[in-house]
């Protein structure tokens, strides 16, 4: 069975109600580290990998939570 590799990473800023979808072929460890640094400074920010296409993530997250997608970094 074919297994699709995770290629997108969601970064969600709950304080500003905004999010990014980062498309990367080089992994997500660096993004997770940056998120942890921001969390330690008191920001309400989360990140998680996803195998869904970036356009699908943007549409679903906006519709489900009402957050705004931005191309600018929320970090």
- pLDDT tens by residue, 1-43: 555 565 899 999 999 999 999 987 677 888 889 999 999 999 9
Residue 60 is assigned to a structural domain of this protein: yes
Q: How many domains does the chain have?
A: 1
What is the per-residue pLDDT for 23? 85
Q: Is the Cβ–Cβ distance between 11 and 71 less than 8 Å?
A: no
Q: How far apart are CA 22 and CA 64, in angstroms?
A: 19
Residue 40 falls within a domain, yes or no?
Answer: yes
Q: What are the residues whose beta carbons fall under 8 Å from the beta carbon of 15, sequence distance 6 or more?
A: 43, 44, 45
| pLDDT of 28 | 80
Q: Give which of 2, 1, 20, 24 is closest to 11, Cα–Cα.
A: 20
Residue 2 belongs to some domain of the structure: no
Backbone angles phi, psi at 65, to 5 degrees: -115, -15
Residue 3 lies in a domain: no
Predicted local confidence at residue 4, as pLDDT: 55
Predicted local distance difference test score (pLDDT) of residue 29: 82
Q: What is the pTM of this model?
A: 0.84
| 75 belongs to a structural domain | no
């Amino acid at each position: 069975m074919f297994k699709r590799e995770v290629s997108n990473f969601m970064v969600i800023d709950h304080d500003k109600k905004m999010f990014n979808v980062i498309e990367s072929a080089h992994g997500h460890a660096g993004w997770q580290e940056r998120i942890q640094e921001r969390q330690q400074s008191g920001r309400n920010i989360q990140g998680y990998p996803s195998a869904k296409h970036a356009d699908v993530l943007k549409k679903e997250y906006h519709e489900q939570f009402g957050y705004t997608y931005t191309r600018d970094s929320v970090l």
